[in-house]
Homo-oligomer: A and B are copies of this chain.
Amino acid sequence: MKAARFHGREDIRIEDVPEPEVRPGAVKIAVDWCGICGTDLHEYLEGPIFVPPAGEPHPVTGEEAPVVMGHEFAGKVAEVGDGVDGITVGDAVVVEPIHRCGECAACSTGQYNTCEKLGFVGLSGGGGGFAEFVVVDAEWVHPLGDIPTDVGALIEPLAVGYHAVELSGVEEGQTAVVFGMGPIGLVTTGCLKARGVRVIAVEVADARKDKAATVGADEIIDPSAQDVLATISDLTDGVGADVAFECAGIDDVLNNAIACVKSRGRVVNVAIWGHPATVEMGPLTLNEVDVVGSIGYCGDHPATIAMVADGSIDTAALITGRIALDDLVEEGFRQLIDNKAENVKILVHP
């Protein structure tokens, strides 16, 4: 079958690989759509990061580069392995693309997203969504019901936003500030709006400011033209926001996030940082703010699917392109790298 495999930095090849075979307890899925993630771009430009390099097999999968990429995918069940109940050939499904050891302290408390050997389908081996077929253990297969599989491919990034919102503890009617309107900031905004939270978005790029409006941001602050902290203070009657989300990975943004929340407010860091952060500890301490990290998702897929199914979130603005697998690098990766602000999700059909 045709698949996109990571061989090395800036070396992703569309090639023929053996079609995976279903095994007991697992499900074979014909992929309809797979989104390109910022993590995929990082691997392409700076990797291998999550991809296990040749000679260093992943501790859970035992695989090493080259590996099939793509972890934001949905499709139809093509075959069901022995011992799998409740999943039928033809079902529309999305995969929670987790590899976890199942033995470490985090796994033993159910917090598998912080597994010390955490890996991802589509990055760490076990196939991926940039391929015609993938086989995954049934526990990670979530039924989409009537949700079409192109929207289903958005469930994975939406679950990242959903998880971050859960960790924030924000409640209906409260105010959140989301810093950075890249794909993760946008899905976080959408998940906040689905919960009835007022969202103040902070973003400098015009194209992304437009996207923020389409996913429902109530206010949009442009830090190149406005005083971010003074504006948030005005918009919250001097109280500060209830929570803030750092979706940019920039020192000034993190410090603004800490400074913009109320006494004992919470900041959720969703960004993956490429460098240590320089943090002003005074505002954190004197206002008893807490900063918590959020990574991926952990049991959030069913609620995320329900949120999409009941129409609480409008996903139309999130899909900005659809391409064929053969065009993955030129019309997918390069497009997202060269026209970052204009694009959110480009979906790939294998």
Residues of A at the B interface (CB closer than 8 Å) are 104-106, 109, 111, 113-114, 118, 167, 238-240, 249, 262-264, 269, 271-273, 276-282, 284-295
The answer to whether B106 and A263 touch across the interface, beta carbons within 8 angstroms, is: yes
9 nearest interchain CB pairs?
A290-B292, A285-B293, A106-B263, A273-B281, A114-B263, A105-B239, A284-B293, A111-B263, A277-B279
How far, in whole Å, are A249 and B281 apart by their CA atoms in the complex?
Answer: 9
The answer to whether B293 and A269 touch across the interface, beta carbons within 8 angstroms, is: no
Contact A105 to B262, CB < 8 A, known contacts A277-B278, A278-B277: yes
Contact A114 to B286, CB < 8 A, known contacts A238-B105, A280-B276: yes
Residue of B nearest to A287 (CB): B114
The answer to whether A286 and B295 touch across the interface, beta carbons within 8 angstroms, is: yes
The answer to whether B292 and A288 touch across the interface, beta carbons within 8 angstroms, is: yes
Q: Which of B111, B118, B249, B271 contacts A264 (CB 8 A)?
A: B111
How far, in whole Å, are A237 and B291 apart by their CA atoms in the complex?
Answer: 27
Q: Which residues of B contact A276 (CB under 8 A)?
A: 278-281
Q: Shortest Cβ distance from A343 into chain B, in angstroms?
A: 24
Q: Shortest Cβ distance from A333 into chain B, in angstroms?
A: 24
How far, in whole Å, are A238 and B117 apart by their CA atoms in the complex?
Answer: 14
Residue of B nearest to A109 (CB): B263
Q: Which residues of B contact A284 (CB under 8 A)?
A: 269, 291-293
Q: Which residues of B contact A262 (CB under 8 A)?
A: 105-106
Contact A273 to B285, CB < 8 A, known contacts A105-B238, A105-B240, A263-B105: yes
| A-B pairs with beta carbons under 8 Å apart, 16 shown | A105-B263, A106-B262, A111-B263, A111-B288, A273-B282, A273-B285, A276-B280, A276-B281, A277-B279, A277-B281, A279-B279, A285-B293, A288-B293, A289-B292, A289-B293, A290-B291
Q: Shortest Cβ distance from A162 into chain B, in angstroms?
A: 15
Q: Shortest Cβ distance from A207 into chain B, in angstroms?
A: 27
Indicate the member of A249, A280, A287 with the most B CB atoms within 10 Å.
Answer: A287
The answer to whether B105 and A288 touch across the interface, beta carbons within 8 angstroms, is: no
Q: A106-B262, A287-B295 are in contact. List 4 more A-B contacts (CB 8 A).
A: A111-B288, A114-B263, A284-B291, A291-B292
How far, in whole Å, are A284 and B293 apart by their CA atoms in the complex?
Answer: 5
